[in-house]
Amino acid sequence: MDTRFDPNGVGAVVVVEGESDEAAFETLAERRDIDLTAAGIRTVVLGGAHRIGRFLAESAPRMEGVQLAGLYDVGEEAVFANALERAGFGSHLARADLERLGFYVCVADLEDELIRALGTDAVEELLRANGDLHRFRTLQQMPAWRGRPADQQLRRFMGSGGRRKIRYARILVEALDLGSVPRPLDLVLARSMNAEAPPERGFV
């Protein structure tokens, strides 16, 4: 996936691992009445965590004055930390350092964060409303998934089936109480809106 872009008119870049993360971010912005284009905020989909290093190497020379922020899954924390270190953002970066730089961890991933924020019962009702509950019940009866916690089953269901993960990223965010938005998603949007609070080192 090509992560290069024209920085003209861009004040902030939000880096995400996949398209479902982008969908969730854009949906939250819509719900908060934020026009990302008008605000000069651009999302960049890496297409996999290991592309963060290439993105930083290719984009740094063209991003002077641009606020950088991002989301990452907890399992990819070392990948992001190492890439940021190589790009000159610091050394021995811990999670608190990544947050200072504008990168926020999702445990285990953003779908997991959204399912926990809504609760499994509410998510199942969303499946029912969108005509997918019977498909989910089928997955629950599969030997590999029978008896597992409902949140794990829901994550698996949303991660399978074509573009289902992207579709449900939007549906779940649309269903959220805006006072209960998962912390990493809330913070990365706030960070992208705050160009006056750049990280100590990096593109700005």
Q: What is the CATH number of the domain that holds 81?
A: 3.40.50
Same domain membership, residue 106 and residue 21: yes
Give the tens place of pLDDT for each residue, 40-49: 999 999 999 9
Q: Which domain holds residue 32?
A: 12-110+180-193
Give the tens place of pLDDT for each residue, 74-99: 999 999 999 999 999 999 999 999 99
pTM recorded for the entire structure: 0.91
The reply to whether 203 falls in a domain is no
The reply to whether 45 falls in a domain is yes
Closest of 57, 58, 61, 11 to residue 37, by C-alpha: 11
Q: How many domains does the chain have?
A: 2
Question: Tell me, what amino acid is at 38?
Answer: A
Q: Residue 121 and residue 142: Cα distance in Å, rounded? A: 20
